[in-house]
Structure 1
Amino acid sequence: MKKFLVAIGVLLFAAALAFTGFTLVKMIQKQQAAPASAQDDAASAASSTAVALPQPELGVYKLVETEMDLLEALDYEIKQNRDTVGWLIVPNTQISNSVLQAHDNTAYLRTDERHQPSIYGCYFADYTCSIGPREVLSPNTVIYGHSDLKDNPDGPRFSQLFKFTDPEFARQNPYIQFSTIDDFMDWEIFAVFYPNVDMNYIETNLSGSELVALANEAKAQSIYDYDVTVGETDKILTLSTCTVKYGSNDYEHRFVVMAKLVPEGTEKKVNADLKEKTSTDQQTEE
């Protein structure tokens, strides 16, 4: 009788454990399989509490002011996640974070720096990019990040890029820093624009003439006229995120900030030399 009761107890315990495990797996699957349309609701909830609640540990601004700070931050992040390839800083925003790169462009769409499910994912480089010291960088280094789908410049992640729609902010912040463990690199902004996805601005391996053609198209679509020239031997940085400028149901446009790599030893400007474009200017260039 005693053996029978023990056997029954074991069976009940096993059944309970199996049910708990099944429930946990289903919860994880539900999180990971959430359709893209669910981003609106989650983003709204996140942005509505962003001011009231403390920022989460990941995906927030980390102070990196010197090359030593950068090396320490990158060394730490690489130890936490070997997919870490660089560090991105957009001055006077909350963008100062590690950049990841995986074997494809889906790995970090809904996964943060610690491989945890996240509606905002993390900043990640296109899987086709060559990343390292400036000598080995692809002609076009492309970094993706989510926004809150409100074009809110105070929102999370790449929502902060919409600060560049303010002419005064754009004028006072002419540079971006994207650096690797091998090289501390400044990039000078030359275009802020809303491309259609049909524009292949995310091609990373371009010839010199193709690079110039892409840069010229970006400058033509830019909301500002920057006094920055891009040549065939230059390298550019492309930061890309979603936008609702043309409506919440529009999936055909993105918001993009492009910059070119600044040669070592170049004296940096205090302010960007830019001019706001009128609608007539843009129509003429188109």
Structure 2
Amino acid sequence: MNVRNERLNCYYVSAWIVNILDIFFRGYIYMKKNMHKEKKKHKKNSKKRKQVGILFVLIGVLLILVFGFGEYQSYKSAIEIRKLQQLKEASSDNGNGIDTSKILPEYRNLYKTNSDLVGWLVVNGTQINYPVVQSTVYQEFYLDHNFDGEDDESGAVFADARNDVFKPDDNVILYGHNMKNGSIFGTLQYYLDKSYYEKHKTMSFDTLYKRYDYQIVAVGLSKITDESADTFKYYDFLNAAGEKEFDNFKEKIKSLEVYDTGVKMKYGDKLITLSTCNSVEKNGRLFVIAKRN
């Protein structure tokens, strides 16, 4: 595992360095060409050329710093995620004074690392393969903190603080950022294309104690609204008081679907909803709902 992790580290570092050098080299060549042309045409304007050259260098350095920081953040997030995946795969014991006897073996080390851990999500055939955390103290903590509790703009996949994941509620809602690099819930947007759904219809969500498989039933678009807005808030449906309320939820979801999957849900089904941002409209949200097999 250590050798594999080291190779992954080297790969990301190398890619990062190559990208930075490439940008610097292209900027340097562009600057030289333009300075050469300027020299031929305006030999007497050396001072102006120097000022332009300095400006290009400063802009190049600024771009490198900005791009480099973004690349470093992506690299760091990828490494942290891989470490968690390896920790999941590793064997564990019952140390640190924590009773982990009922926890599935592969999650014991992770739980000892962060007791906010409530499960693990895998969307089959995609890169969504992450631990799921839940903060009952501050709902949005994991919007900008990673699994280790460190500041991280990628955040983590986290369950709604109102949910009982283990009971479970009728609808467990998991949130994650729509990251441009495809991490966290960045690949959920592909589900807007039905052909992608056809190839990725299933997912699994393990709690700390049990394993569950799910089948996707709906993909839809909505938005975050204020309390007075007359818009269905799918993220507020956690439990149905009865069959009538569940059927109402089902009909509302039907109206927000981007296409018909052909898979139906019924009263009594246990659901999981993956929720992320979308760029289709202001305050837009994309959701993928699946039912337990």
Task: Map 1:42-81 onto structure 2 (within 5 A).
Answer: 49=71, 56-60=78-82, 62=85, 71-81=104-114
> Which runs of 4 or more aligned residues in structure 1 lie more than 3 Å from their structure 2 counterparts after TM superposition?
44-50, 52-55, 59-66, 68-73
- Preserved contact between residue 139 and residue 211 of structure 1 (Cα < 8 Å): no
The offset of 1:178, in angstroms, is 1.0
Alignment-derived partner of residue 170 in structure 2: 139
| Residue 111 (str. 1) matches residue 145 (str. 2) | yes
> Over alpha carbons, which structure has the higher Rg?
2
Tell me which residue corresponds to 1:219: 254
Root mean square deviation, CA, Å: 3.1
Contact 2:88 2:106 in 1 (8 A): no
Distance 1:73 1:215, change over 3 A: farther
TM-score by length of 1: 0.64
> Sequence identity of aligned pairs in percent?
25
Distance in 1 of aligned mates of 2:192 and 2:68: 22
1:192 equivalenced with 2:219 (yes/no): yes
Hey, what's the Cα distance between the residues in 2 that align with 1:64 and 1:90? 19
Q: Which amino acid aligns with 2:120?
A: W
Aligned: 1:83 with 2:79: no
| Residue aligned with 1:244, SS | coil
Q: CA deviation at 1:47?
A: 11
2:88/2:107 contact within 8 Å kept: no
CA-to-partner distance for each residue in 1:34-56, whole Å, 9 max, x for gaps?
xxxxxxxxxx9699749x95863
Whole-angstrom distance in 1 between the partners of 2:192 and 2:275: 14
Quote the offset at 1:212 in angstroms.
2.7
- Counterpart code for 1:113: F
Q: Tell me how far apart the structure 1 counterparts of residues 174 and 69 of structure 2 sit (CA, whole Å).
A: 22
TM-score by length of 2: 0.63
In structure 1, distance between residues paired with 2:128 and 2:280: 21
Q: Deviations over 1:58-111 (max 9, x none)?
A: 235838999x99934322211110010010001122211110011131221211
Q: Cα gap change, 1:54/1:126 in structure 2, threshold over 3 Å: closer, same or farther?
A: closer
What is the alpha-carbon distance in structure 1 between the residues aligned to residue 263 and residue 116 of structure 2? 33
Residue 144 of structure 1 aligns with an amino acid whose one-letter code is: Y
Does the CA contact (< 8 Å) of 2:119 and 2:206 recur in 1?
yes
Structure number having the greater helix percentage: 2
Distance 2:86 2:265 in 1: 30
Residue of 76, 98, 118 corresponding to 2:131 = 98
Which residue does the alignment assign to 1:155? 182
CA shift digits 1:96-147 (9 cap, x unpaired): 1110011131221211100100112101100111112xxx200110000011
Q: Distance in 2 between matches of 1:64 and 1:209?
A: 44
Counterpart of 1:178 in structure 2 is: 205
Q: 1:55 to 1:107 in 2, by over 3 A?
A: closer
Q: Secondary structure at the match of 1:191?
A: strand
1:108/1:55 CA distance change after superposition, 3 Å:
closer
| 2:149 corresponds to 1:126 | no
Going from structure 1 to structure 2, the CA distance change for 1:193 and 1:98 (only over 3 Å counts) comes to same
Is 2:133–2:147's contact at 8 Å kept on the other side of the alignment?
yes
Query: Residue type of the partner of 1:62?
Result: Q
Counterpart CA distance in 2 for 1:47 and 1:163 is 27
Matches of 1:126 and 1:201, distance apart in 2: 12
Seen in structure 2, the aligned counterparts of structure 1 residues 64 and 115 have a Cα distance that, compared at 3 Å, is closer
Count of residues paired in the alignment? 207
Instruction: Between the two structures, name the one with larger relative contact order (CA 8 Å, sep ≥ 6).
Output: 1
Unaligned runs of 5+ in 1: 1-43, 263-286
SS in 1 for 2:222: coil
